[in-house]
């Protein structure tokens, strides 16, 4: 393993974006990792924020990929997979925060082969609460999407035990802060458009994260539809989702069931009260509450979940995965 001092050299692709900046800050505080390069596109040449050295963003094509033992890619989807392949080809372990390598996104696997024609790679889907052991031995990790992380953590206990009603519909109403859309300027993300406002988007059940969520449903043989409607919240960060789950049979103590499922998890909290964004922002934890729905004819659960989209939904989970695949303590350098 390449090291400098006691630290492992790390590179971040797309480091000037919201997820990339969060990664650089986490790496800066991590006791076993050291940032050796960070890339940007339009912001190349600018100083990397929060550092007391003179490090500047380099263009992606100038990044010395071979200098890093671990590479995080926080590039846009469609751009990321090719660079992931190239970093992997020169011997780095890679964690991709984009959607390119996540399950259900087969088109990305086929088309993004990188500028040097490097063969595309497949990634282990890095939701530690689902696949911790696979991540420990992965060469490439596909970090889950922010909404997918929230929704899957909210439903995993019943997916894993086959309790979702066959033929039913799992329905998700979710809302994200504006950093979820990245930092490229867009008119609909201007302060005056977003503040004191809230609206749905991708309301035709076609959001990009549905693919990976459906893939996990399929993996458990869950015979249920998934309907997912995201909303834009007038806050900078955080995701709140309400997940309505039809059950095959009633569950007497849903909160106890969720608590037992996640008893050993360092970054999942089960609470009697529905979570709020303030419970989780600037933390790597998901907070979940669950209750039986009253006044309905068929057994139904309502799970509510909150995460920080930039930590448990992106950079924090990516570092959690890095800790696992490097054999470090899973919680190292992460704000619980
Ligand atoms: N934001 C979230 O909550 C979140 C959560 C989970 C996963 N993700 C995923 O993480 C990735 C980054 O998201 P983000 O929100 O941080 O996006 P972002 O703020 O838009 O940042 C994108 C980064 O990629 C660079 N970039 C853009 N186009 C490029 C190109 N053609 N070639 C090379 N570099 C390019 C940008 O550089 P310049 O700024 O210098 O142009 C910037 O560093 C995306 O794949 C996203 O889907 C984001």
pLDDT number for residue 113: 37
Known catalytic residue: 146?
yes
The DSSP line for 220-285 is TT--EEEEEEEEE-SSSS-EEEEEEEEBSS--S-HHHHHHHHTTT-TTEEE-SSPP-GGGTTTSS-
Please give the average pLDDT of every successive group of 10 residues along the chain, which has 336 residues.
Answer: 80 98 97 98 94 93 97 97 97 97 69 47 93 96 98 97 97 98 95 96 94 96 97 98 98 98 98 98 98 98 98 98 98 95
Give the start-to-end residue ranges of the domains of the chain. Answer: 8-122, 146-309
Contact 280, 308 (CB under 8 A): yes
Query: CATH second-level architecture of 146-309?
Result: 2-Layer Sandwich (3.30)
DSSP structure class, residue 51? -
What CATH topology corresponds to 8-122?
A: Rossmann fold (3.40.50)
DSSP H helical ranges for 44-201: 80-89, 106-111, 128-136, 146-160, 191-194
Q: Exactly one of 24, 146, 173, 198 is catalytic; which is it?
A: 146
Query: What is the distance between the alpha carbons of residues 211 and 221, in angstroms, rounded to a whole number?
Result: 15
Rounded to two decimals, the pTM is 0.95
* CA-closest candidate to residue 149, choices 316, 324, 313: 313
How far, in Å, is the centroid of ligand 1 from the Cα of 74? 5
CB 214 within 8 Å of CB 226: yes
Is the CB of residue 312 below 6 angstroms from any atom belonging to ligand 1? no
Best residue among 48, 65, 76, 108 to mutate for probing ligand 1, ranked by most atoms within 8 Å of CB? 76
Q: Which of 314, 316, 319 maximizes ligand 1 atoms within 8 Å of its Cβ, making it the mutation to test the pocket?
A: 314
Work out which ligand 1 atom sits closest to the CA atom of 183: 19
Q: How far apart are CA 71 and CA 41, in angstroms?
A: 17
Q: How far apart are CA 14 and CA 264, in angstroms?
A: 33
Q: What is the CA radius of gyration of the chain?
A: 20
Q: What is the pLDDT of residue 118?
A: 60
The Å distance, Cα 268 to ligand 1 centre, comes to 26
The pLDDT of residue 5 is 75
- CA neighbor of 100 nearest in space, from 21, 205, 211: 211
Q: Output DSSP code: residue 118.
A: P
């Amino acid at each position: 393993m390449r090291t400098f001092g006691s630290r492992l050299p790390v590179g971040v692709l797309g480091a000037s974006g919201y997820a990339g900046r969060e990664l650089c800050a986490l790496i800066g505080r991590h006791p076993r990792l050291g940032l050796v390069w960070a890339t940007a596109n339009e912001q190349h040449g600018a100083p990397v924020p929060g550092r007391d050295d003179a490090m500047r963003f380099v263009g992606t094509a100038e990044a010395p990929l071979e200098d890093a033992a671990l590479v995080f890619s926080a590039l846009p989807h469609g751009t990321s997979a090719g660079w992931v392949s190239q970093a992997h080809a020169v011997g780095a372990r890679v964690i991709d925060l984009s959607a390119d390598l996540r399950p259900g996104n087969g088109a990305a696997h086929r088309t993004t082969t990188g500028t040097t024609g490097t063969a595309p790679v497949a990634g282990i889907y890095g939701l530690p609460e689902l696949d911790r052991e696979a991540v420990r031995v992965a060469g490439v990790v596909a970090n889950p999407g922010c909404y997918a992380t929230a929704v899957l953590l909210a439903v995993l206990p019943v997916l894993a035990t086959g309790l979702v009603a066959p033929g039913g519909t799992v329905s998700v109403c979710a809302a994200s802060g504006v950093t979820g859309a990245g930092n490229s300027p867009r008119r609909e993300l201007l302060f005056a458009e977003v503040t004191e406002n809230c609206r749905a988007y991708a309301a035709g059940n076609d959001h990009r994260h549905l693919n990976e969520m459906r893939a996990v449903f399929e993996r458990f043989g869950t015979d249920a539809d998934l309907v997912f409607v995201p909303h834009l919240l007038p806050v900078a960060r955080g995701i709140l989702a309400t997940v309505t789950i039809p059950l095959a049979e009633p569950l007497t103590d849903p909160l106890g069931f969720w608590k037992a499922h996640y008893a050993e998890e360092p970054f999942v909290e089960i609470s009697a009260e529905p979570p709020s964004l303030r419970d989780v922002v600037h933390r790597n934890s998901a907070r979940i509450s669950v209750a039986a729905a009253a006044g309905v004819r068929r057994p139904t659960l309502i799970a509510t979940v909150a995460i920080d989209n930039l930590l448990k939904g992106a950079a924090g989970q990516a570092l959690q995965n890095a800790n696992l695949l490097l054999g470090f303590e899973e919680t190292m350098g992460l704000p619980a």
